[in-house]
Amino acid sequence: MVTLTETAAKKVTELRQEEGKPDWGLRIRLVGGGCSGMSYELGWEEEQAAGDMVVESQGIRVFVDQHSAPYLSGCEIDFVDNNMLGAGFAINNPNVKSSCGCGQSHRF
């Protein structure tokens, strides 16, 4: 379903430690908005909610809600640090049909 690169998993582990949530998982979901229709939202999750799909990748639990799951199937979460553009998580999703110019929202 959803995988993390080794770099992303290391960054998630580092951020969980900084925020005092060393055992929490990562939630990824799609939310409406943006110029192309949908954008990603990442956050921490302690417990599985009803209907969630939970996968483990690189030792990190990844939580995905029922609505987002079909659109996130096969996606990979990476962490990139580009001095010119800054650092952040990048989501490589084979289900995206088009993206806006800034790359922050997508059409499926």
Q: For 73-90, how does the pLDDT look when each residue is reduced to its tens digit (9 = 90+)?
A: 999 999 998 867 788 998
Segment 16-69, tens digit of pLDDT: 999 999 999 999 999 887 666 778 899 999 999 999 999 999 999 999 999 999
Question: Tokens representing 16?
Answer: 């969980």
Secondary structure element (H or E) that encloses residue 48, with its range: none
Q: How large a percentage of the chain has pLDDT more than 90?
A: 65
> What was the pLDDT predicted at 14?
96
Write down the domain spans for the chain: 2-97
Architecture in CATH of 2-97:
Sandwich (2.60)
- Give residues with Cβ within 8 angstroms of 105, minimum separation 6: 33, 34, 35, 36, 37, 38, 39, 99
Question: Tokens representing 1?
Answer: 């379903």
* CB-CB neighbours of 55 under 10 Å: 14
Cα–Cα–Cα angle for 14, 42, 86, rounded to 5 degrees? 65
> What was the pLDDT predicted at 4?
98
